[in-house]
Structure 1
């Protein structure tokens, strides 16, 4: 009788362990898909980064999008699946400057004086001077008439808006720091800036005196200046 009881307990334990392993295997892994590969938004618009996501499985840590500055930003979505593993998904967002659309005028929108001035007929009467004017017999008198007829000036083109970098950068991470790379080429500068940012974040997260001590991790991305022209500057965002 005792042998039967022991055998029954062993079988029950095996079934329990098998059931637990099956449950563990059924834990879903992290996954996320976007509605589009790249996204364009206007400068200054209020945008919810959740709207870019089509489907997601797991717990998501959403990135921040700064639309106050024009330029390209890479958003990083960190998803933790039921199995406890994390995956990072990137989405490129292009923030278009408002002045780009404000300065594009169609011919109908151009000021009236710019349209009508080139169309106004010029009166070049010196070329039609009658022969009686050449009483001195000089053939050079007609040159003054031709020079007088060319006094019209072409319209001055409208001034172009030129952005002047002011040394400020947008989309800076919560660390409040950014790193500018060194090198001869843009690739070398980008790589150097990323290395600087990563080394600094590693030191901070293991430094007991740092406000970022024992954070789970960090994200790195490149940022642009106020003209949206530089991408050799990187920043750190802890989570």
Structure 2
């Protein structure tokens, strides 16, 4: 009987200790939730990245957000729990470009003389063509009469931007990643995955200058401002 009682007490103590251990593990685990899955901010705005967080458990290393340029950025929130384990949480932030406000005046704002003035139409002076004295009744231009020859002006050449393979606003990694795919969405996603995987290898390599750092990523454009499927990495 005494032996059975001892075994029962031992079993109860083990169950109690297991329950405590489980509670301590749950309490020590790092966790973070955001208010929204994706966030939009305006270019040039001052933004506190802490405002995007709804709940957090553990010590947080907050990312940096650069709103000086429009584009998509992925912020990395690194949370360290009481057990020493780290978890990384990602938040996509879309920095919207500010549209320039047109400088227009309403009739009330415009000067009175401008409100009552009727615009006049001026007819540009045209020099009459020189009479054809060669006796030819033919015409070398469509719609001309009397043998007069008119020459249509050559339109000026348009200034077309030619991509030169360079990209601006690189992160301090100095690297950019171009995606592969049939559509722009596929290229966009592939470039993001490339950049993220490369950054992970850097922060876990003890011999790397970016070891144990946090990072953020954003899209960049070429010299013509046409591509938006290219990503860069910035460590901090």
State the TM-score, normalized to the length of structure 1.
Answer: 0.55
Matched residue, 1:108? 106
Distance in 2 between residues matched to 1:208 and 1:77, nearest whole Å: 21
Matched residue, 1:230? 227
Matched residue, 1:70? 70
Matched residue, 1:221? 217
1:23 aligns with 2:19: no
Distance in 1 between residues matched to 2:186 and 2:36, nearest whole Å: 33
Please say if residues 34 and 52 of structure 1, whose CA atoms lie closer than 8 Å, have aligned partners that are also in contact.
Answer: yes
Unaligned runs of 5+ in 1: 125-162
Helix, strand or coil: the match of 1:88?
strand
Output one character per residue of 1:59-90: Cα deviation in whole Å (capped at 9) or x when no partner.
32222111221233333334445564625141
Matched residue, 2:33? 32
1:17: Cα distance to partner? 1.8
Matched residue, 1:187? 185
Distance in 2 between residues matched to 1:4 and 1:184, nearest whole Å: 72
For the aligned residues, what is the CA RMSD?
4.7
Please say if residues 30 and 82 of structure 1, whose CA atoms lie closer than 8 Å, have aligned partners that are also in contact.
Answer: no
Matched residue, 1:86? 87
Q: 1:199 to 1:20 in 2, by over 3 A?
A: closer
Q: 1:9 to 1:95 in 2, by over 3 A?
A: same
1:169 aligns with 2:168: yes
Please say if residues 32 and 79 of structure 1, whose CA atoms lie closer than 8 Å, have aligned partners that are also in contact.
Answer: no
Q: 1:59 to 1:165 in 2, by over 3 A?
A: farther
Matched pairs, number: 192
Unaligned runs of 5+ in 2: 123-160
State the TM-score, normalized to the length of structure 2.
Answer: 0.55
Helix, strand or coil: the match of 2:168?
coil
Q: Which structure has the highest helix share of the two?
A: 1
